[in-house]
Structure 1
Amino acid sequence: MAEETQSGNGTAAATPPQIRMQVLAQYVRDLSFENLVVQKGLSGSEVQPDIQVAVSLDARKRSVANQYDVVTKFKVTSRNKVNSETLFLLELEYGGTFHIEGVADDQLHPFLLIECPRMLFPYVRRIISDVTRDGGFPPLNVDQVDFMALYRQELARRAQTQAATPVEKAN
């Protein structure tokens, strides 16, 4: 017979599984910074920066049980508003290795692409700030990323792509 736990009011309640997430490692997988202002010899009065930040995510299961690699990819492009020339280009791939237990299989994909990047983001923000400052620009403090909205946008994009792809009928 299955054992039930009693809550304080005498009704049976099932205990939800305990979610356990541990960051095993964090690392810069790839980093590139190109300072085009120095290469072109522009002066400060000619520069009015317009900064664009693109974010993408990747998650993979490792060969060890309950371990996953999650990589956040940031591409920061600063263009001059005056003439649209690129001022700098920063590309960062920052990863983490996570041990995750207690997450239902149907919730694992969103967990990996929402919760894990949230854990990594403060470190990504600091690296981008340091690199832009060390590259001769004011430190760039990237705005908070809504990883849940990013995940939903990707699901909508995939659904739209699948809807646009014609299905072949078998004869």
Structure 2
Amino acid sequence: MSRIGKMPIAIASGVTVTVDGQTVKAKGSKGELELTLVPEVTVSQGEDGLTVAPVDESQRARAMWGLSRSLVANMVQGVAEGFSKELEINGVGYRAEVQGKSLKLALGFSHDVIYPVPEGIEIKTPKPTEVVISGIDKQKVGQVAAEIRSYRPPEPYKGKGVKYVDEYIFRKEGKKK
């Protein structure tokens, strides 16, 4: 039995969820999201919230059970509160700034990296060395953060590069004389 799949999904106040067969739509103060689930699971709406259940006891149905429950829960949380990821830039001369619909990154290359901001994502730079990515789709927020980090991942000797705020960089000792 899936421990994650068994838990009901609580629907926050101000969020309306409609279930139409395999399609789940959530609408809240932040926006609207839609998800089509795989045929191996079913979703039902009760007074305690949404419940996801497998159709049968096959391996695939049990695997999709917890995944589908997590996807629907993230969708409901996204339209109610939204998600955000914070990146930190370390290095001399490394900085970021938002210019219209793009993010301009100076990461020690001979050129600036221009990252176009996708639809549904909001990027802010409270400081030149901080980037805050926010949106209602958890997968898209994480993907954008990973793409920005991939331009200059942190290196283990000095820790220079783009890293998540809560990420720890394992440091290596430099070579000895």
Q: Same fold (TM over 0.5)?
A: no
Instruction: Give the number of the structure whose residues are more often helix, by fraction.
Output: 1
Higher relative contact order (CA 8 A, sep 6+): 1
Compute the TM-score of the two structures, normalised by the length of structure 1: 0.25
Q: Which has the larger radius of gyration?
A: 1
